[in-house]
Chains A and B, each alone.
Chain A
Amino acid sequence: MSTLSEQLLHRIRDAHRRRKLNWWERAYLPAIAQGLWLTSAHFWRNLFLHLAHRVGLFRHIPAAVTIQYPDQLRPTSPRLRTRHRLTKREDGTPRCVACMMCETVCPARCIYIVAGEHPDPNVEKFPKSFDLDLGLCVYCGFCVEACPEDAIRMDTQRHDIAAYSRDGMWLDIKELLNPGSRTFTDPPQKFVQLELEEFKQLPPSPAPPPPGTSAIPYGRD
């Protein structure tokens, strides 16, 4: 009676042993014919579908698995963490109370907040500037989890981020409040400070696209 480990070893050896081919398989030609049958079936099926698509038939059956990237966007997972945004109060000022939780928890140390005093004693503080360096960000989402005010979210569905310089990856508070308002080729504005009244003058931010879809890539809207 062999032990369990011996049996396991035996099984592994068995699985690794090459199966002996029978004469039909060794003749090689039937296997080639099978392979050619498979690939040519794909060829004719896709050719037919492509032609049918041209005249508007069978549109619901795709002829290729390709997603033509800049023209077609791939659906994303609903849980995907995408670029950050800051949420707003009803009067247009940021919800952020400059508690520094996100700046503290950030493992990449890519968030920089300058706090100002809020006139409302229940709010106490607001961010004069809120900067985020995407070149450092690791997309861990800790800032979103740490935030007690639901002021920062990662749901803009923007994930195609490219810039010509490291400074181009810098997000200032205007961009964070209104994602997509500037292109990454613009010269960066680091540590832009705004007063409470100036926040109200900023354009209203559009709602981000629903989860699972992609936002329009930069430079194409």
Chain B
Amino acid sequence: MAEAMGFYTDTTVCIGCKACEVACKEWNQLPSRNGGVNTLSGDSYDNTRRLDGIHWRHVKFIEQFTEDRKDGRWLLMSDVCKHCVNAPCLEVCPTGAIVRTEFDSVVIQSDACNGCRDCISACPFGVIEVNPASGTAQKCTLCYDRLQGGLEPACSKACPTQSIQFGAIKDLQGRAQKRVDQLQQMGEKRAYLYGADEKMLGGLNSFYLLVDKPEVYGLPPDPKMPTRNLKSATWFSAFGAILVGLMGIINFRNRGAREDAREEQP
């Protein structure tokens, strides 16, 4: 495997220009919603609304203002697939359509996907949805085709403020930590990294510098693997089957004793 590649997104320098969204759509030839007819969401300057099958980048606008709007701040964040090291979507995919590439990114092969949508419910970040044009689940590919050609992903290339930085995960982690230290020294004590180390799903290959709680950005504070429930759910189901089986055996086995037992029935 080549080196693990990914994104480090410094949300403090994002200006909400959406160049990443446009570059992504253009390179990946993603269709517009409603045939391009503009509809406003009413939610700040965000008319993309969410990541889905035709939006693989989404700039979030979070307004934190006082009631009289005299004081406050914007939180801006370009959201994307996290390319988790332990990827929940890849884990549950029954067709093998979701694979890990040589860049340690997670890619859905559209020609193998049959649109069962298990990955959608498995992704703790709500990244994946069906692209109506293909009928298959789609998301950011970390521009796998560009990476193979030695180019960087379209979004980071287009980002004018270097909020989205692409590179080897090791380099990015060092760079991000320096930036956190710098912000802390400057008095921004809330700055921290989200998903940069292996504690979160083995590490996010697209990690973030944030200045508020994860849920404020619409990110889960504690994302987990879907298979955490597999063993317990299976054992409980088997236990249920055993109970039903015992009830069936008791009831059908000895019909002669049934009349005597009638008084004891629940």
Bound together: no
User: B interface vs A, CB < 8 Å?
Assistant: none
